[in-house]
Amino acid sequence: MSSIELSLPRRRVLADVIPKSLLADATLVIGFAGVVGALAQFSIHLNFTPVPITGQTLGVLLAGSALGWRRAFLSMSLYLVAGLAGVPWFAGHSSNLPMTNAGYLVGFIATGSLLGWLASRGNDRTVVRSVLTMFLGELLLYVIAVPWLAVAGHFSLETAFIYGMRPFIIGDLIKMAIAGVTLPATWRLVDRTSATR
């Protein structure tokens, strides 16, 4: 009896375009953690919720899809662990993390990993598939972050949704569109460059 292949074939992610080495992987992991940290500084604090509006999730969407799941997992884990160790790259140049907000950073690890896995299946090659992939990533983030916010903040799930998701939906749609267009466009550039060599 022949074995049945249950997994989809793996394809390159954008990071695989760079010649593989330990130094290249380390640079990508650290670099994308830095990108998320830099985007975290674009933050707006709202007076009714402990969760600020930031640019972090755009960095997570790009990092996950560009790095593949292993490097994305390491990069987002580094972002969380280094921040807790004192690197001031959480929102507002902070290394302090309110317990209510920790679910988002844990969610970044899961989201980056999921997006990296989906990108390795070719879901970052067209705008439609890329945007749908970003939607799944955002959905996973909130599946983790909103219940965490409810438990840590002693809120109902409805209140946690109002505080921790509803104010960010429009911004997240914009970030999904940016990432969803950027990745296929970058692949087209890579393919054109490869074809002219």
pLDDT at position 98, please?
A: 85
pLDDT at position 11, please?
A: 81
Going through the chain in order, the beta strands assigned E by DSSP cover: none
pLDDT at position 127, please?
A: 95
> Which segments of the chain have a pLDDT < 50?
1-7
pLDDT at position 197, please?
A: 61
Q: Where are the domains of the chain?
A: 14-192
CA distance 35 to 22: 20
Q: Fold for 14-192, please state it.
A: Arp2/3 complex 21 kDa subunit ARPC3 (1.10.1760)
Question: Helix crossing, 102-119 with 56-67: angle to 10°?
Answer: 30
pTM (2 decimals)? 0.90
